[in-house]
Structure 1
Amino acid sequence: MSKTISVVICTNLLRKKQLRRCLLSVLCQTTQPNEVLIISHGVIDKKAFDFVRAFKLLRIIHTNAKNPAELRNIAIKLALSKIIAFIDDDAFASRMWIENILATFAKNSPAIVTGPIQASNSSNYWSKFSELLVSPISDGEQDCWFVIGANFAINKHFFLQHKLRHSIMFNYGEDNQISIAVMQAGGSIRYSQECSVFHDYRFSLKDFYVQQKNFAKYEYFLMRVQQYNYFGFLEYVRLPYLLLPIFIYRNFLLLRKVGARWMIGVLIKELSVLIGLAEGIFAWKEFYRANAVEIGKLRAQAKKLN
């Protein structure tokens, strides 16, 4: 782990044009990465990357991984650098992304650095509202609780030292799961506005609804897995049922900031969250039976780290 920074692009090969754009943005940084890993769910045609042959440390890795969480675990094992930066294949990095990530690690020594995601194209109301909600944590730099999944970098030594990994049972919200694990291990998550990437927001209304519903469903599962011990809330058994009013209040505050024209985004998001939460409550027993061993491991790890 003598190298400085590895960049990992996880892909399911469904967005080849965006993947090419993402790779170019990584290779055109003011500070060059020591290596770039493209880790896929299937087999990539390596000829598609002939245009970057000069960059000798491009590694293309084929896997049978089921979801992004599993791909990221593989990347942490294989990356050679002390710092590993993750970016989605349908995102692309700002010119000083790597330089600013390294600067943030140097100043603060966090376990994770994350940053905002900016829309790369004109958005519809529901997608624009989601972008406004999740991206601008602050106007500068500060510690935060949650990683922004399409844009974050980790300290590999911290992850190996505490045996942290993304749990593969979460198809949505795996970034929240790893955020909790990092905090339980005594690490910090540092948000910097300067570590920004651009991301495509082209959700149809149906796709947005499904995404937000599943986020809420898996967030409920995550709370139950953690036995409600959510950042110091202890075992407050009613906490999962407060998800909806918490989201509504947070969105109300944002609504006051951005104006009534985004009300459609608020309504769609809250309806999605309500349905997702209900699905999570009714599906918990089945989820627990299917993942009992993995849940036991996460709970044991949480007790050990705490």
Structure 2
Amino acid sequence: MSTTVLDMLSAISGVLPALDDGSLRLSYADVQRSVAAERRWFQSMKVRRCALLAENSARWILSDLALLASEAVNVPLLPSFSHEHVAQVLEDAGIEWILTDAGERVTREHPAFSYVATSHRTGLALLRRDDSPVGSGAWPKGISKITYAPGSPGVSLKHNAVQSVTDSLVAEIAGLGVQTHLCLLPLADLLENIVGVYVPLTMGAKVVVRPRHTMGINNVSLKLPLLLQAIDTASPDSMIVTRELLRALVDAVRDGWRAPESLKFIAVGGPVSAELFQEARHAGLPHPNAEVRTVDLGAIDAGRFVYLRGPVTQIG
């Protein structure tokens, strides 16, 4: 998949905006150069099996694309994972390297890893395991990612499976005119990683990504005014939300908030009750008169997600 994704990116006008995290604003040409340089760095360091542990940012996306391009196995870790859960994943996946924005904390909590270098392009620290990992053994060829969810075993994804899902979703939403996607879920979440990054970037859209706490989103509570302000400021064409975030947006509409007119496409991760689904549609999130149809994307096991737009697409 790595060459295919890079080919798609290289076919897009380099002057178009690609990533915006508030600190870094990168064009497609910037992304292409950074990913190519980071790929060469990974290959020179012989990075083959790497965990990516960092907050949402443009540098997370650049690292992810570079790992994909170098055909290394990437194991994205949710920032919400506990120390014990991270340790379990590192052993289970046989992780040799870690890319992180919290190098000192990670080496302190996981002393088997030590600091090697800092990326000149992303600022993320590269850590290496001092001993041989005991987990996973030999993986099948062609593995692109291994994703973990709390309480669940790792799910391995081959390059062609990720590519197949990306291609299917691009074909599904290409006619909607999506120009800006706002990332609300952690980038380590497979749904945001593929639907929120690979799909818009292969269509020439811009990905707006901010640290989630700056938008009032954390693992304990939601500061709704900050979230609504972030949505209003970005004026996105597409977003991905959890069931809980969708409920909060429906309630906000009832309290007088209006979603940006630009919003064409909302994906909801996980099962959604028929009641909440109808409430969202009646609230105009984002299209009250949509139809429902089903699309089979069985190449990937990421749970069930629902698209709200005319027509509404239910996948799963």
TM above 0.5, yes or no, is: no
TM superposition score normalised by structure 1: 0.32
Pick 1 or 2: higher relative contact order, CA cutoff 8 A, min separation 6: 1
When normalised by structure 2's length, the TM-score is 0.31
Greater strand fraction, Structure 1 or Structure 2: 2
